[in-house]
Amino acid sequence: MTTEKLTTKERILTTALHLYNEQGADIVTIRHIAKEINISHGNLQYHYKNTEEIILALFNQLAEAMDKGMAQAENPAIPTFAQFLADTEHMFSILYQYRFIFLHFVAITQRVPEIKKRYNAIESNREHQFIRLFHNYQETGIFRTDIPEEVWIDLVTQIFIVGNFWMPHNEIQLQLKGQKAVRHYVHLVGNMFYPYLTPKGIATVQTS
């Protein structure tokens, strides 16, 4: 990382992200953020008219990072199950950096409707990716072929629900911090697939 001076706009975003993650987007106001970086709230408002714009800018950062991660996971060198889990961990780590969004997901999407649209578009993409991946694993004999298509589709939905809401679940039930939380729920995702594996698939997973 370079140590160039950050622009005010950049400092606003990093500080806002920090405060949002610490205290929640419902509590932190423009004045709080301004105070934290020692600028006037009038100045902050010059850069971002209101908190909605800041949240949207942060979401765009997240979406960009997710796009990169997805592109990377799209064509793995070796398409193993272990690789899939490593990619999932990478994705979950990115999501965790923006956890204030997912801890209050509905409130955020109500406050910034644009986010809902964008997120659903991303997820729709991701759904097709999963279906392709499953067929892939079926062809290589890792996943079972005696399961109705409908069940696979619902499996994708399950993954989405866990993917979007593991942070609230952790907040309420476990309170794990940082990578500990990430790894815990990635492990859970791994186990979600266990009963879908063939005997050969199970052998593959256990040796890796």
Q: Select 75 or 124, whichever has its Cβ closest to a second copy.
A: 124
Write down the H helix ranges in the chain: 8-23, 30-36, 41-47, 51-74, 81-97, 99-103, 105-111, 113-139, 149-169, 178-193, 199-207
The answer to the question of residue 183 lying near a second copy (CB under 8 A) is: no
Tell which one of 19, 30, 58, 167 touches DNA (CB under 7 A): 30
**Selected binder of DNA within 51, 88, 109, 170 (CB under 7 A):** 51
20, 59, 92, 119: which one contacts a second copy (CB under 8 A)? 119
Residues 17-36, interacting with a second copy (CB under 8 A): 24, 26
- Is residue 195 a contact point for DNA (CB under 7 A)? no
107 near DNA, judged by CB under 7 A? no
- Minimum Å gap between C-beta 41 and DNA is 6
Q: Is 41 in the site for DNA (CB under 7 A)?
A: yes
Q: Are 103 and 168 in contact (CB under 8 A)?
A: yes
Residue 200 tokens, joined: 């050969």
- C-alpha to C-alpha distances, 68 to 21, 65, 189, nearest whole angstrom: 22, 5, 21
Interior/surface letters 74-86, b for 16+ CB within 10 angstroms, e for the rest = eeeeeebbeebbe
Contact residues toward DNA (CB under 7 A) are 8, 27, 29-32, 38-43, 45-47, 49-51
